[in-house]
Amino acid sequence: MRHIYRPDGYMPALQRVACMLCVLLLCGCIKVGPDFKRPEVEVSANWLESDDQRVSTSAAEYRDWWKIFNDLALDRIIELAYSRNLSLRIAGVRVLEARAQLGIAVGNIYPQNQQLTGALDFTRTSERSPSSAVPQSGFQLQHTYWQDQVNFNLSWEIDFWGKFRRAMESADAALLAAVADYDSALVSLTADAASNYISIRTLERRISIARKNVETQQDSLQIAQTRFRGGVTSERDVEQARTILYNTLSAIPGLEARLRQAKNALSTIMGLPPDNLESLLSDETGQIPAPPPQVAIGIPADLLRRRPDVRGAEFQAAAQSARIGVAKADLLPALSLTGSFGLLSSTVGQFKLADMASIGAWTASAGPTFQWNILNYGMITNNVRVQDARFQQLLLTYQNTVLKAHQEVEDSLVGFLRSQESAEYLASGAEAAKRSLDLASIQYRQGSTDFTTVLSAQQGLLTAQDSLASAIGDISSNLVGVYRALGGGWKIREGHDFVPEDIKEAMAKRTNWGNLLRPAAHTPAEDAKQPTPRLPDW
């Protein structure tokens, strides 16, 4: 009668393995390496210009700060830039990349190696091999046979020292840093779009001023030519008038070239090929955007939570802090559970390949293992030192980023305020220059002054009006710089995905992204506690 194999004899061994697994999992609460804390950084209690009546330190929302200019063309330009800018889309795809990297880190918490293998082998042993010469009592040695097997192999390194949990912390922080980088790109995008638009309007104004002065100077030239033909003045007046006219005309092509370049730059920001932008610009008044009489800028401490690059520097430091723990874990023994379960059968003796379906064909092995790199010649220790040095660099980078942010606000703010004062003086000077030209023209017609006085007044008027237009543009440009330095504009992405639908569709056709293309999958909460254990991303 054939013996029927009963697996009951394996139960005590399996129970011991299960108990050991539970002990290891319960003890796996150790995490070597430092826990990250935001580094201390010194910021001023208030801005240097906070006493100015044009500045308010009250809290304000900078979500769509450009609307303070009340310019519909600017609103449309930023809307187009947000929806089409290619650099911003690149930053959005990097968020998806960081989310996938987080999935890799989460997967390492679970059994790291699982393999299903199978084989069918034909074997013939030599009849002259040493094993063939050994006498076999009651057994005829078989030199040819087939063998088939199916195995499931598993290896699970237990996260006893927190190496994989630290790697998850690092990946979480790296994802938040990628989101902060996207927000920082959005801050730069909105500011660049507004700055280029202001430059376009300023150049249009300067070109208009130059052309109006050309008309005035042409009238003066005709007067000089008429008086010369009448013998009232010399030819010198005519040539002087012609010189002033041509000098003014020569400045226009340079301004037009700069205008074209500014429009080309704005087209690129909006994700468009170079275009005249007539549909965006022609239906507006064409005036340089005017700032409000007072701007709210909050206090310096707000920069720590508002500026994306400051948050990004903090998250990068947090990610590197966790990498120290990952490196330190390599100094300690790695504890693993390994197992192999399978079916094996052969054609030796009375066996058949079909016996694989019987219970006697089962084969299994399982147990704990450990690996300890005890002679690493200092390589692991020096790797820990490398990670710690990189962490210290990022701490200093964070502190430096905060200081630079503070400086950028102060620089833009003082530029905004002083450029207003400069524009007031230039406006008064332009009025005086216009009055001077009117008086000189009247006196010249009356013959009480020479033509040189008229030409000097014309040059003074052109210079004053051109400088005033530039100063007005500087006021608005400096205000844009203030909001850029304050980190305004990135909140317009709230409620929207980092990547537009057409790109997600193209990526989904190439690769199985599972649920990672959904907005909720890559918008982690900065302060939310992650669930434990965390499920992998399939």
Q: Has residue 108 got a pLDDT over 70?
A: yes
pLDDT at 264: 94
Whether the per-residue pLDDT at 523 is higher than 70: the answer is no
pTM score, whole prediction: 0.86
Q: Give the pair of three-digit tokens for residue 55.
A: 């500045």
pLDDT in tens, 336-347: 989 988 888 888
447 or 191, higher pLDDT: 191
Task: Give the pLDDT of residue 25.
Answer: 52
CA angle (317, 319, 325) in 5-degree steps:
110
339 DSSP β-pair partners? 154, 366
Nearest in space to 36 (alpha carbons), one of 322, 385, 327: 322
Answer whether residue 73 shows pLDDT above 80.
yes
CA nearest 178: which of 311, 267, 53, 79? 311
Written as six digits, the tokens of 492 are 């317009």
Mean pLDDT of 508-525: 81
CB atoms inside a 10 Å sphere around CB 136? 9
SS3 116: strand
Range with the poorest average pLDDT among 70-79, 93-102, 123-132, 509-518: 123-132
**How many CB atoms lie under 10 A from the CB of residue 42?**
9
**How many other C-beta atoms can be found within 10 angstroms of the C-beta atom of residue 328?**
23
* pLDDT, tens only, 50-61: 788 888 877 777
The string of DSSP codes covering 268-323 is HHTT--S---HHHHTTS--PPPPPPS-EE---GGGHHHH-HHHHHHHHHHHHHHHH
Residue 21 has pLDDT above 60, yes or no: no
**What domains does the chain contain, in order, with CATH numbers?**
38-44+55-109+159-333+372-521 (1.20.1600.10), 114-129+141-158+334-371 (2.20.200.10)
Share of the chain above pLDDT 70, in %: 90
For residue 439, CA distances in Å to 55, 152, 237, 445, 461 come to: 41, 101, 18, 10, 13
- Cα–Cα dist 366/14, whole Å: 8
416-to-62, 238, 513 alpha-carbon distances in Å: 17, 43, 47
Residue 223: the pLDDT is: 84
Higher pLDDT: 535 or 315? It is: 315
176: pLDDT strictly greater than 50: yes
CB contact at 8 A, 30 and 161: yes
Residue 210 near residue 248, CB atoms below 8 Å: yes
SS3 assignment, position 359: helix
Contact 462, 249 (CB under 8 A): no
Task: Identify the pLDDT of residue 10.
Answer: 43
| Ranges 111-115, 229-233, 386-390: which has the least confidence | 229-233
Angle, vertex CA 527, rays to CA 482 and CA 95, nearest 5? 70
CB 473 within 8 A of CB 199: yes
pLDDT: which is higher, 349 or 222 = 222
Above 60 in pLDDT, residue 17? no
> What is the DSSP code (8-state) at residue 133?
H
Place of tokens 């949990």: 165
Average pLDDT over residues 349-365: 81
**Predicted local distance difference test score (pLDDT) of residue 55:** 82
3-state secondary structure 31-95: CCCCCCCCCCCCCCCCCCCCCCCCEECCCCCCCCHHHHHCCHHHHHHHHHHHHHCHHHHHHHHHH
CA dihedral (24, 25, 29, 31) positive or negative: positive
Which pLDDT value is given to residue 42?
A: 83
Q: Which of 127-131, 255-259, 358-362 has the lowest mean pLDDT?
A: 127-131
State how beta strands 295-296 and 55-56 pair.
Answer: parallel
Please count the helices (runs of H) and the strands (runs of E) in the chain.
Answer: 12, 6
Report how far residue 492's alpha carbon sits from residue 189's, in angstroms, rounded to the nearest whole number: 12
Distance CA 350, CA 180 (A): 69
pLDDT of residue 530 exceeding 80: no
Q: Would you say residue 202 has pLDDT above 70?
A: yes
Q: Tokens at residue 367, please? A: 């147990």
